[in-house]
Structure 1
Amino acid sequence: MYDPSMRVLTVLELLQARESVTGAELAALLEVSPRTVQRYVARLQDLGIPVEGRRGVGGSYCLKPGFRLPPLMFTGEEALSLALGLRALHLLGLGALAPAAHAASAKLARTLPHALRETVEALSGAVQFDSSPWVVSTDAALLSELLGAVHAAQTVEFSYASPQSFRQTRRVDVYRALHLDGRWYAVGRCHLKGALRSFRLDRMTELRVLETTFTAPTRFDALAYLRSTLPTQAPAAPISVWLDAPPEDLRGRVSVWFTDISAEAGGTRLRAGRSDLGGFAAFLLGLDCGFRVDGPPELLAVFARLGARCAGVAQGPSVTAAAGGIDALGSGL
């Protein structure tokens, strides 16, 4: 009639519905022996459910007077996954949800039997998360509104800051929102470009959900699309630079692609692989902090050429820099 786990849950349902149930009644309903019923009751007691047995003719079982079963019940693994997930929200750039996460954690603790609650607290307390400075903070309210638009297949409009720092109003049919390498993205059809585009949520403001609806493509893989627009392999030139700024001050200003950073001597050690050394040099100059290039020699040569150009410009308008100047060096990291 039932598998063992379903029988245990049925015992619990019957105990909640009646003041008491005899062992014989439970055995008949579940089509098992009275001894098996005793095992099911013992299982509930192991889970922290206060089932009491009453002696007498036929014997009976009941829940402890005043006991109220929480609206949700979780296994140990389920409760641990929820607890760790709530603690890890900051890894997704959703630190603004911390108060809500604390409230949810408190509610979760109240739903767990005492023994299970202590186990979950001990296990989650033994875990340490890395607070990477490269995770870009994201407006949780904006994300929530955007996800609602995705679910309802409604077009959104927002003000967007491009990498060149000028803003445009964009109207987009967003097919998916996703998190990749420390940033949240929206991927969908941009009305301005008439094609698929990706947008970083930390560059969005003034989001509005429009009445216009659309039909999203079936089985659309936003992650595959986004990865296809980004570099697929690290260039060969190894770069090592010390930046006179702590990692947290560089949050969101340095790409995480093929880049390793760590705190060092009051600043930041940046190691990366790049083929466009000119572009990387322009990026370093744009950081507005001191830095020291420890390699490769080719990058030092780029700065030597830049220095000569800048010296020529400083001599006066009669001397011009080489065609394109620093702008020709590319967008950097």
Structure 2
Amino acid sequence: MTYDPSLRVLTVLELLQAREEVTGAELARRLEVSPRTVQRYVTRLQDLGIPVEGKRGVGGAYRLKPGFRLPPLMFTGEEALALALGLRALQLVGLSELTPAAQAASAKLARTLPQTLRTEVSALEQVVQLDASPWVVTTDAGKLTTLMKAVRETRTVSLDYRSGSNEASRREVQVYRAVHFDGRWYAVGHCLKRQALRSFRVDRIQAVTLLDSTFTPPEFDAVAYLRSTLPTPRSYDVSVWLDAPPENLRGLVSMWMTDITAEAGGTRLRGQRENLTSFAAFLLGLGVPFRIDTPPELHAQFAELGQRCRAVTEPGV
């Protein structure tokens, strides 16, 4: 990922605030730039009215004028908590690559808060657990950043894309929106090759390049478009009787979209499932006798599983 020079200028300011004095050589090493470039960054800070003082000669160093500190950012308790939890939630939208940056931002946030508010936010963070859904797809933050820049600057992009059927293609796309939907990031816009609206999963984009050509985007609701175009998995109503009382199944049966009740000395399980193959395997894994009432398609899944089991246990038959 490339870095904006303005971000490096702010990094210089962070280092100067954290240390009494920093040498130009250390700044150059930390930022991976030349000493001359460090001088330009320092000049930029001085032009912004920040009193950076420098010592000339071998071993020259920089420091902020004694007593100078940027005024603290002012947040209410709710605002500070929203920022802290938002930074921690990046993994929930598949951006775990940004975790180090989020941790650094959290540390900066903590430094700006008054002690009382800092303690309160820290205590609240410790009692909150966030867990990424298994359906969230990890996304390359660099590609997403480039797509967002394309949207902001209304510039066309060139995509090297691989479809769900593993077909590779190159597309030029006028991206209207980058949107997180159903656990995945999508780039949605006008495909010049197809001359039509298209959506592209960001995790299937092999490379993205900003082009010079620009466009005028229309008013556009990307979420509504995705809802109307992406296939919706079929959901099955399941009803199964299990030969075990409900208390014996506690902790074994997920209660997500599921209802269990005592019935005839056993348990009636009702719910909705999209993947009947995994549900069939789950029932077998419970290790108790059961009876399938609905749907009939679940019987077919057991027949298929039986064939697969015979292929493994009786090779050549």
User: If the length of structure 1 is used for normalisation, what is the TM-score?
Assistant: 0.55
2:92 aligned partner: 91
Distance apart, 1:131 and its partner CA: 2.4
Unaligned runs of 5+ in 1: 1-64, 241-258, 262-270, 285-289, 316-333
1:228 aligned partner: 228
2:265 aligned partner: none
Question: Would you say the 8 A contact 1:96–1:140 is kept in 2?
Answer: yes
1:187 aligned partner: 188
In the alignment, the residues of structure 2 paired with residue 233 and residue 297 of structure 1 have an alpha-carbon distance, to the nearest angstrom, of 18
1:300 aligned partner: 299
Closer, same or farther in 2 for the Cα pair 1:297/1:162, shift >3 Å? same
In the alignment, the residues of structure 1 paired with residue 301 and residue 70 of structure 2 have an alpha-carbon distance, to the nearest angstrom, of 70
Question: Would you say the 8 A contact 1:136–1:182 is kept in 2?
Answer: yes
Closer, same or farther in 2 for the Cα pair 1:122/1:132, shift >3 Å? same
Distance apart, 1:304 and its partner CA: 4.2
Q: Does 1:81 align with 2:98?
A: no
2:196 alignment partner AA: A
Count of matched residue positions in the alignment of Structure 1 and Structure 2: 210
Give the alignment of 1:1-333 within 5 angstroms: 66=67, 68=69, 70-218=71-219, 220-231=220-231, 235-238=235-238, 273-274=273-274, 291=281, 296-301=295-300, 304=303
SS at match of 2:132: coil
Closer, same or farther in 2 for the Cα pair 1:239/1:131, shift >3 Å? farther
Question: Would you say the 8 A contact 1:153–1:213 is kept in 2?
Answer: yes
In the alignment, the residues of structure 2 paired with residue 222 and residue 110 of structure 1 have an alpha-carbon distance, to the nearest angstrom, of 38
SS at match of 2:218: coil
In the alignment, the residues of structure 2 paired with residue 163 and residue 66 of structure 1 have an alpha-carbon distance, to the nearest angstrom, of 59
In the alignment, the residues of structure 2 paired with residue 292 and residue 239 of structure 1 have an alpha-carbon distance, to the nearest angstrom, of 14
Q: Give CA deviations for 1:122-152 in whole Å, capped at 9, x if unaligned.
A: 1122111122221110000111111000111
In the alignment, the residues of structure 1 paired with residue 218 and residue 126 of structure 2 have an alpha-carbon distance, to the nearest angstrom, of 43
Question: Would you say the 8 A contact 2:236–2:272 is kept in 1?
Answer: no
Q: Give CA deviations for 1:258-301 in whole Å, capped at 9, x if unaligned.
A: x979xxxxxxxxx8545xx9xx77xx8xxxxx956766443433
Question: Would you say the 8 A contact 2:72–2:113 is kept in 1?
Answer: no
**Kindly, what percent of the aligned residue pairs are identical?**
56
Question: Would you say the 8 A contact 1:239–1:273 is kept in 2?
Answer: no
What root-mean-square deviation, in Å, do the aligned CA atoms of Structure 1 and Structure 2 show? 3.5
Closer, same or farther in 2 for the Cα pair 1:95/1:238, shift >3 Å? same
2:185 alignment partner AA: W
In the alignment, the residues of structure 2 paired with residue 115 and residue 293 of structure 1 have an alpha-carbon distance, to the nearest angstrom, of 52
Closer, same or farther in 2 for the Cα pair 1:184/1:99, shift >3 Å? same
Question: Would you say the 8 A contact 1:293–1:300 is kept in 2?
Answer: no
Question: Would you say the 8 A contact 2:98–2:141 is kept in 1?
Answer: yes
Rg larger in 1 or in 2? 1
In the alignment, the residues of structure 2 paired with residue 302 and residue 91 of structure 1 have an alpha-carbon distance, to the nearest angstrom, of 32
